Amino acid sequence: MLTNLSIQNYALIDDMNVSFAEGFTTITGETGAGKSILLGGLSLVLGKRADLTSLKNQERKCIIEADFDVSKYSLKHFFANHDLDYENHTILRREILPSGKSRAFVNDSPVTLDVMKGLGERLVDVHSQHQTLRLTENDFQLKVVDALADNQDNLVGYRVHLSAYKKAANELEELLDFQANSNKEHDYNSFLLKELESANLKDGMQESLETEYEQLNNVEQIMEQLSLGHQLLNDEQMGILGKLADLKRAFQHLSDYGDNYKSLNERVQSIFIEMDDVAGELETLRDGVEANPNRLETINGQLQLLYDLQKKHQVGTVLELIAVRDQLSGKVDAVENIESKIREKEQELQQKTKEVETWAIKIRDARNAVIPKLKSTLQENLYALGMPSATFKIAINPSDSFKVNGKDDLVFLFSANKGSEYGELKKVASGGELSRIMLTIKAILAQYEQLPTMMFDEIDTGVSGEISNRMGEIMKEMGQTMQVFSITHLPQVASKGRQQFKVFKEEDVMGTTTQMKKLTQEERVRELAEMLGGKTLSESALAHAKQLLQ
């Protein structure tokens, strides 16, 4: 509920600070006194866009603060979603700077205007004759029916299963799209896969083939160098092994003359053994080397295939070709298995459809059960509001598609007079009739759910006498369970308030300002008497005013 409103430097308001209580509050004042200015200031802190014309003094900033007790509104989730600190006592502040810039704050944390508007809609419902069009919207009408039907839990269950149904439907659509698009590429992908599979790709194969190719392609030079090495080692006259044998024998004699000679001898012996081993391996290699044109041609073909595949797939290694092959294999398998996946997803979607349909039927049954009560309550209340012949036709018809609030189409038709054709509210109801219908519906809703603070802006325009008295009674009854404001010109409505405020203008040498004050009991009597009979207060007007307050 709104506990305090502070407005500085806005329109004709210089500095205003007003505290409010729970229950039903009425706001009165002469035409032009500034009641709309008050409402305009409040709407800014609820997220309405502003401009520089809002500033009373163009050289100072405009500041509007609204304090709310939000403990009954279940808003912790909203605060968490927008990374705001939740406090039962929450302050919304709006600043409009002389530069034209606007800033918004919730509990001193900067927020966007959209966040402030979203929170404001949960805190205050401003209702005027111009806003009754919401009454003609199907979603709002269903919300009224669901409140009476206590459908909140059913709607939560329905939306959980609706989300699962939509997920399955989207996944099926993606599979079908994939199938339609991939069929065009499937043959080409299969061809590329077979081409890569026929290459028998293995990590390291390219290096191995390139090494073997170099050996076979240079076999004559290899044989020539091996033969030369063998000759250098084994030549009878000048061979290295012969000379090393002489050196070995010479050093064997020296080893007996000291450890240093012995160590040197061991090194010479080691060199001889190593070179003798090299000579043996050279001979083996030389005997094993032979020209093989057929093998060379085969290897050349394998390497050329690898090079061609790498060029085609724009990669540089066999490992990258293997990755391409595996990716193509996945695509080909996906297409070849898509039919079974589609069948599985279709079965899943059928199951999800049954589940969400079950919840939709629960919602529909609950709605149908309360429609007779809704019709009779509306008609009874409108009878008391001067619409004795008002009747409704309300029906729930199954829809062809799942909606966010069920699988129903609501027929909500109205007739104001006997013998008149039934029609949609927006087509057959006048502005005054819509206002009375909306007031009645809000009163019904107040019995079934926690509504935000309700601000009725002159919805009683055009009515008088007993009807206005009944409208005041309805708002007073609503005030038993919620905070309700009514800006009114009617004394019958104004007198029903638990507290009454007056908006008025003051003029001095500095100009004109709009003020607002809470009226005492005596001041209320005088205000109501003026509303009844004008500025000249008669005894009868004062007596009537006292009677209204009693």
CB-CB neighbours of 26 under 10 Å: 28
Query: Residue 330 contacts by C-beta under 8 Å, 6 or more apart in sequence?
Result: none
Distance CA 121, CA 268 (A): 101
Distance CA 413, CA 306 (A): 77
Task: Using CB atoms within 10 Å of the CB of residue 27, give its burial: 0 to 12 exposed, 13 to 18 middle, 19+ buried.
Answer: buried
- State whether 120 and 214 are in the same domain: no
Classify residue 533: in a domain, yes or no: no
Q: CATH number for the domain including 466?
A: 3.40.50.300
- State whether 507 and 406 are in the same domain: yes
Distance CA 117, CA 100 (A): 19
Q: Do residues 135 and 89 touch, judged by C-beta distance below 8 A?
A: no
Among residues 303, 337, 371, the one where a domain terminates is 337
Classify residue 348: in a domain, yes or no: no
417-432 burial, b at 16+ Cβ within 10 Å, e below that, comes to eeeeeeeebeebbeeb
- State whether 225 and 134 are in the same domain: no
Classify residue 356: in a domain, yes or no: no
CB-CB neighbours of 88 under 10 Å: 11
- State whether 18 and 145 are in the same domain: yes
Classify residue 379: in a domain, yes or no: no
Classify residue 100: in a domain, yes or no: yes
3-state secondary structure 144-161: HHHHHHCCHHHHHHHHHH
- State whether 93 and 134 are in the same domain: yes
Q: Do residues 295 and 159 touch, judged by C-beta distance below 8 A?
A: no
- State whether 407 and 296 are in the same domain: no
- Residue 145 confidence (pLDDT): 93
- State whether 138 and 188 are in the same domain: no
- State whether 287 and 403 are in the same domain: no
Parallel, antiparallel, or unpaired for β 406-415 and 423-424? antiparallel
Count of helix runs (H) and strand runs (E) in the chain: 17, 15
Distance CA 381, CA 467 (A): 11
Among residues 337, 364, 399, the one where a domain terminates is 337
- State whether 45 and 119 are in the same domain: yes
- State whether 184 and 319 are in the same domain: yes
H/E element, 92: strand 89-96
**Among 450, 444, 430, CA closest to 394:** 444
Q: Which domain holds residue 101?
A: 2-150+385-519
Classify residue 536: in a domain, yes or no: no
Distance CA 512, CA 505 (A): 7
> Phi first, then psi: what are they for 228, rounded to 5°?
-60, -45
- State whether 40 and 128 are in the same domain: yes
Classify residue 276: in a domain, yes or no: yes
Tens digits of pLDDT across the chain (550 residues): 999 999 999 888 889 999 999 999 999 988 777 787 888 889 899 988 877 777 888 888 999 999 999 998 889 999 999 999 999 999 999 999 888 888 999 999 999 999 999 999 899 988 865 566 667 788 888 988 999 999 999 999 999 999 999 999 999 999 888 887 777 777 788 888 888 988 888 888 888 888 778 777 777 787 778 777 877 777 766 778 777 887 788 777 777 777 888 888 888 888 888 888 888 787 777 766 676 778 788 888 888 888 899 898 998 888 999 999 998 888 888 777 788 889 999 999 999 999 999 999 999 999 999 999 999 999 999 998 889 999 999 999 999 999 999 999 999 999 999 888 899 888 888 877 888 888 898 888 888 878 889 998 888 777 777 888 899 999 999 999 899 999 998 999 999 999 999 999 888 777 888 889 999 999 999 999 998 888 777 888 899 999 988 8
Classify residue 534: in a domain, yes or no: no
The total domain count for the chain is 2
- State whether 144 and 188 are in the same domain: no
